[in-house]
Amino acid sequence: MFEILKSFETKYGYLKKKGLTIEGLAMVDIKKKKHVIKISRPLVFDNRLIPKKFEGLDVKTNIKLNDEMPAEFQVDRTQPDWHKTQYIWAFERFEKYVERCEKDIKNQLNSPLMTKHEILDALCFGNFEEHKQKNLQLIKEGKLPAYLGN
């Protein structure tokens, strides 16, 4: 299994310059002995460069949260049960952020010719439309709170 991690690091290690951190292997299901490759990355990062699976292992991505998150992603995490009223990764947050900062995001990604749709895909886990549909379904099922705006 460590060979798979080494292979992943060899193939995607160049993304460290763009803010990717390869955290290593993690077990996510003890009963099934399911392992994943765990990585983290900044909010502004082209997720289309990262596979969802690598050599049979899922790639689990976390976004590095910090105090400098854009206004669209600011949530009061000090409130009890904040996650029941606010979903930090709501698709509307991505849309508003791209609307406000499109030029800056293109500069950060070093891709001045990206379309708005490509930026949304890049930031939003590789496929914005898929993320949006999943959000809407989970809201409908009552598993996610609806976005109320900032």
Residues forming beta bridges with residue 36, ordered by sequence position: 26, 58
- Do 15 and 58 lie in one domain? The reply is yes
75 with 134, same domain: the answer is: yes
Give yes or no: residues 8 and 59 share one domain.
yes
Per-residue pLDDT reduced to its tens digit, 3-42:
999 999 999 999 999 999 999 999 887 788 889 999 999 9
The pTM score is: 0.88
Query: Based on the domain organization, do 87 and 129 belong to the same domain?
Result: yes
99-137: pLDDT as tens digits: 999 999 999 999 999 999 999 999 998 899 999 999 999
Among 39, 63, 87, give the residue marking a domain's end: 63
Tens of pLDDT, residues 52-104: 999 999 999 999 887 688 999 988 778 788 777 889 999 999 999 999 999 99
pLDDT the model gives residue 67 = 65
Instruction: For 39, list phi and psi in degrees, rounded to 5.
Output: -135, 160
Same domain, 42 and 81: no
Distance between CA atoms of residues 15 and 93, nearest Å: 25
